[in-house]
Structure 1
Amino acid sequence: MATLGDIGVSAAINLLSALIFLLAFAILRLQPFNDRVYFPKWYLKGLRSSPTRSGAFVRRFVNLDFRSYLRFLNWMPEAIRMPEPELIEHAGLDSAVYLRIYLIGLKIFVPMAMLAWAILVPVNWTNNTLELAKLSNVTSSDIDKLSISNIPLGSDRFWTHIVMAYVFTFWTCYVLMKEYEKVATMRLQFLASERRRPDQFTVVYNSNKLAKLVKKKKSMQNWLDFYQIKYSRDQSQRPLKTGFLRLWGQKVDAIDHYNSEIEKLSKEIAEEREKVETDPKSVMPAAFVSFKSRWGAAVCAQTQQSRNPTLWLTEWAPEPRDVYWQNLPIPYVSLAIRRLIMNVAFFFLTFFFMIPIAFVQALASIEGIEKRAPFLEPIIEIKFIKSLIQGFLPGIALKLFLIFLPTILMIMSKFEGFTSLSSLERRSAMRYYLFNIVNVFLGSIIAGSAFEQLNSFIKQSASEIPKTIGVAIPMKATFFITYIMVDGWAGIAGEVLMLKPLIIFHLKNFFLVKTEKDREEAMDPGSLGFNTGEPRIQFYFLLGLVYATIINVYNQEYESGAAFWPDVHGRIIIALIISQVLLIGLLSTKHAAQSTPFLIALPVLTIWFHNFCKGRYEPAFIRYPLQEAMMKDTLERAREPNLNLKAYLQNAYMHPVFKGDDDEEDEDISEKLVTESVLVPTKRQSRRNTPVPSRISSASSPSLTEVIKEHPEP
């Protein structure tokens, strides 16, 4: 069992790691050769150019302006002081609401922590139950005296925990209701004030084969560009292409070869495009329907179109960036079968994953290591090493073991047939959260040494499970403290450093980059990662409630208008109910059964509160109010009486391979991003100490008027 000293060692290691990561980020972001890693969004939007190649050779890679290092931490206060309206304007509502999840955590847990330390800690600490238990060889540490374990059986002090459970529940529900109301209002205001979007007004073809041909042609064109650049630098001989890895195959002129291959592919693409457009079998039973007004679109999307409700299924179209084209050809009748298969697969994944997690947790302990590697016992018994193993190793082992889980869950969501990126991420996030509850929370509680003490877990009835888990929870409190330190402190600071993208970019740049287009594709700004970040935060909420008794990098892949907020609210409610049920189970084992009936009302009231919020606020995230739609239509007709909606909507939901005369243009990353949305720069000054100015302005951040002038709206 980890002691207070072990937790202190873990805290010191993780705080030091977080500090090192943040300092490394602050310095590495100033170096010119890292500019595309830490500011890829600005490059992809065309608002930032490559570092100049004039001057000393070392200046191409290292920032020698020592004045910039004096202000290298300015980005922290500037980022914290960014107003929410400016953040919404710059990064979208999804990003702003995602950050509000962190603020909810502060609003809920700071007052709860103050109350717990002022009321519950003195109630628990001023007992001698654990001191007396040590006489019976019961292992405990000083930190356990802060918990409910130090209260003697049948004590009236348990009433304090019951009263505080009501206080914590009411406070959590109050904060959730206010936030739900706030986010719903923000969503309606965002939809009302936002620029015209196709999905507010708005025959799909199966072109997956055509998309593969276009992708292949793009690769060929990239190789052709490489050899042409190579030949332009040295015209003494034409570049040659041979077989696989240049080990065998006929030698041919590389430029002529790729020109010939591209010409063949162009003919195949033209034939396939004509086939897709003329073959009735290529037409899918789905369509994006456009309307002249938002009011008409709202009426159609939110009403039943035929007597048979399955004949015409209508729903709001996601915005064009949000469409996941690969899943559109999937027949509707197969969706239910696919989702059933994935639900069964997720069930087995969740419960069979508990076996290796329990094995890893057993190994990542003093007893497990000494049992399987007894020759290491002299080293393990060293005080610092022992504290390191007990306070740091279990958390990092579990973190590493789950590293591939998000990718697996996203593949499962794609197989289910969801047609938008936002729905894929919400589905994956829901499963990630459930997986964390079963494996990380419950699995860690009943695994390892706790499982040995609770070997009758499987034999017990369902009504006894809350009692069993309630008894085991105090045993694992220190593990969850260290896990949050590893995952929340060092883990998030490591994400700021972006170590993985930094290494991958420079490896690609050294080995794979042949052309400027390759360099652009080597920049992977990524996104907020809602499918992993949000359930991770929600898991912290679960642990907190149970134990209580984005700016220059991430590119906005889509804008859902905070459609994920009902899921956030629901998962916090689930955590609240779990904490209440486990408290009932724990008190029933403390000879306080006469007081547990007073806790039964808590889950009932919490469920009622959830249903109230669901009925009061959730419609704003599902439907578009007709009053709002009509008001926006009226204002738009007054401001733009000559607006040609047909021209605006003509290609809004066309598959990328059909757009334009040349399919290569559709694959141009920067052009695509610029036409999708204009990047609104922030008013923060934290970018003044970066080594490379934007292309548009000599200032560190281009002004709004300058951006709009260069990229006017269509």
Structure 2
Amino acid sequence: MILSALLTSVGINLGLCLLFFTLYSILRKQPGNINVYAPRLVAEGKSQQRTQFNLERLLPSPGWVRRAWQPSEDELLSILGLDAVVFMRIFIFSLRVFTFAGIVGIFILLPINYMGSQLDIDFSDLPQKSLDSFSISNVNDGSNRLWIHFCAAYVFTGVVCYLLYLEYSYISSKRIAYFYSSRPQPNQFTILVRGIPISSGSSFSESVETFFTEYHPSTYVSHSVIRRTSRLQGLIGDAEKLYRRLADLKSKNHAQQRFRRDGFLGLFGRRVGLLDHYEKQLEDLEDNVRMEQSSLAGEEVPAAFVCFNTRFGAAIALHIQQGVNPTEWVTEQAPEPHDVHWPFFSASFIKDGFSSSGLLLHVRFLQFYFLFQL
């Protein structure tokens, strides 16, 4: 590698970093991006969109970098949860590894390579010369100094493994402490069962009740069979959007209320107030939701949430095979309530297997693609 090319690469990367920091500093202050950069504050009602124009919004500010490093691990754990702590520990582990590698490389390996004489390099025009004199290719053939490189590789591997062990022990202890200090969650007592077989004259609910009452009589509590609710979820989503519009409209000055026409695309029909129009639409959606809920009695899918009276009972049912056929009574950990993706449960075992295999192949393709790019 030529020194001038290395310096050019360093300058380009530093320029890109500065550009990205500047863009983030500006975009995070725009009112339209508040749901992207501060969703938790918006959900808790601690942050609201500001419609007044402010010149300070268009100027980058480095204050967020200092504030990002101020919270301690305990504060991150209490505010953002264990995932944020683990994410920060990844950066700490990476800094430790690269710091050790930099010390060994700069103060041990670089002087050893530079003192070699395998390459005949003229340093009269250093910016246009190669940096091979600082690499292992400058060490003389058969020199005992090559053992320093071998030892450094083994030492570096051992240190990285030791740091991984320390990091794993630390995160494991944090995870156990967080588990025991937090309140029990419903998903910890629940498993998801898919591929429920059905016999003639019975429903999925009856099959689940019979199966778990027979094989887990001391820990089984209840179950809830999943139903096809795609239309219902769509109606609920529309109602939530309309409710947010209505709440935002009510929070503004009534004198500033806008009007529209109730016909096609708001271009035809009589002129009505948005407040009355949204309230009427919300009432219609509520009626549609009630009608849809009443028509879901027979829309069952072969999947159910099964609840147990202890977390140990749920763990036993989760980790043992429930039947001879591996495609039936498939158990997995129940997701948290806000992480449930309802269309997922209507997929068959074969379709789910193809989807998982396709996702795995896609990830492997991306890994090999970036590996070959390097």
Whether TM-score is above 0.5 comes out as yes
Letter matched to residue 214 of structure 1: I
* Structure 1, unpaired ranges of 5+: 135-139, 347-430, 445-714
The amino acid across from 1:443 in the alignment is Q
Query: Taking every aligned residue pair, what percent have the same amino acid on both sides?
Result: 29
Say whether residues 1:126 and 2:104 are aligned partners: no
Q: Do 1:240 and 1:253's aligned partners in 2 also have CA atoms closer than 8 Å? A: yes
Partner of 1:289: helix, strand, or coil?
Answer: strand
Change (3 A) 1:33 1:339: closer
Q: Distance in 2 between matches of 1:231 and 1:132?
A: 77
Aligned residue for 2:155?
167
Counterpart in the other structure of 1:365: none
Could you give the per-residue CA deviations for residues 619-639 of structure 1, whole angstroms, max 9, x where no partner exists?
Answer: xxxxxxxxxxxxxxxxxxxxx
| Aligned-residue offset at 1:13 | 4.4
**Residue matched to 1:179:** 167
Deviations 1:89-130 (A, max 9, x none): 111101100111111112222112211222211222223444
Aligned to 2:307: 290
Q: In structure 2, which of residues 347, 350, 369 is the aligned counterpart of residue 330 of structure 1?
A: 347
How does 1:642-653 map onto structure 2 within 5 Å? none
Determine which structure has the larger strand proportion and give its number: 2
Verify the 8 A CA contact 1:227 1:239 in the aligned structure 2: no
Query: Paired residue for 2:178?
Result: 190
CA distance in 2, matches of 1:338, 1:97: 29
How far apart, CA to CA, are the structure 1 residues paired with 2:238 and 2:30?
Answer: 33
Q: Where do 5+ consecutive residues of structure 2 fail to align? A: 191-224
Change (3 A) 1:153 1:40: same
Among 201, 204, 208, the residue aligned to 2:226:
204
Q: What does 1:513-552 align with in structure 2 at a 5 Å threshold?
A: none
Query: Structure 1 residues 285, 175: closer, same or farther in 2, change over 3 A?
Result: same
The alignment status of 1:8 with 2:7, answered yes or no, reads: yes
Aligned-partner residue type, residue 273 of structure 1: Q
Query: Are 2:290 and 1:270 aligned?
Result: yes
Please, which of 87, 91, 109 is the counterpart of residue 98 of structure 2? Answer: 109
For residue 82 of structure 1, report the CA deviation from its aligned partner.
Answer: 2.8
- Compared CA separation, residues 320 and 234, structure 1 to 2 (3 A): closer
8 Å Cα contact 1:32-1:61 kept in structure 2: no
State the partner residue of 2:261.
Answer: 240
Which range is displaced more, 154-163 or 184-193? 154-163
Q: Residues 156-555 of structure 1 correspond to what in structure 2 (within 5 A)? A: 156-202=144-190, 203-218=225-240, 232-233=254-255, 239-241=260-262, 243=264, 246=267, 250-254=268-272, 265-276=285-296, 278-279=297-298, 282-306=299-323, 308=325, 310-343=327-360, 346=362, 431=363, 434-435=364-365, 437-444=367-374
- Aligned counterparts of 1:35 and 1:244: Cα–Cα separation in 2: 27
Matched AA of 2:295: K
CA shift digits 1:453-483 (9 cap, x unpaired): xxxxxxxxxxxxxxxxxxxxxxxxxxxxxxx
1:439–1:151 CA distance, 2 compared to 1 (3 A)? farther
Superposed counterparts of 1:612-631, under 5 Å: none
- Letter of the aligned partner of 2:54 in structure 1? F
1:217–1:265 Cα contact (<8 Å) kept: yes
Q: Distance in 2 between matches of 1:27 and 1:333?
A: 47
User: Tell me, what secondary structure is at the counterpart of 2:306?
Assistant: coil
The answer to whether 1:91 aligns with 2:112 is no
> Comparing both chains, which one has the higher relative contact order based on Cα–Cα distances under 8 Å and sequence gaps of 6 or more?
1
The answer as to whether partners of 2:121 and 2:133 remain within 8 angstroms in 1 is: no
1:218, 1:184 → 2: CA distance?
39
Counting helix residues as a fraction of each chain, which structure ranks higher?
1
Q: Counterpart of 1:85 in structure 2: which amino acid?
A: D
C-alpha separation between the residues in 1 aligned to 2:345 and 2:170?
34
What is the CA deviation profile of residues 335-373 of structure 1, one whole-angstrom value per residue up to 9, with x for unaligned ones? Answer: 2233344455x3xxxxxxxxxxxxxxxxxxxxxxxxxxx
Query: Does residue 1:61 correspond to 2:54, yes or no?
Result: yes
**TM-score (norm: length of structure 2):** 0.71
TM-score (norm 1): 0.40
For the aligned residue pairs, the C-alpha RMSD in angstroms reads 4.1
How do 1:23-62 residues align onto structure 2 when only pairs under 5 Å count?
36=34, 39-48=38-47, 61=54
Once the two structures are TM-superposed, the CA of residue 6 in structure 1 deviates from its matched residue by 3.0
- Counterpart of 2:6, as a letter, is I
Q: CA deviation at 1:11?
A: 2.6
Based on CA coordinates, which of the two structures has the bigger radius of gyration?
2
**What secondary structure sits across from 1:214 in the alignment?**
helix
Deviation per CA, 1:24-71: give whole Å up to 9, x if none.
867887x796994765532321234566x9xxx8xx62569xxxx9xx
Q: What SS does the aligned partner of 1:47 have?
A: coil
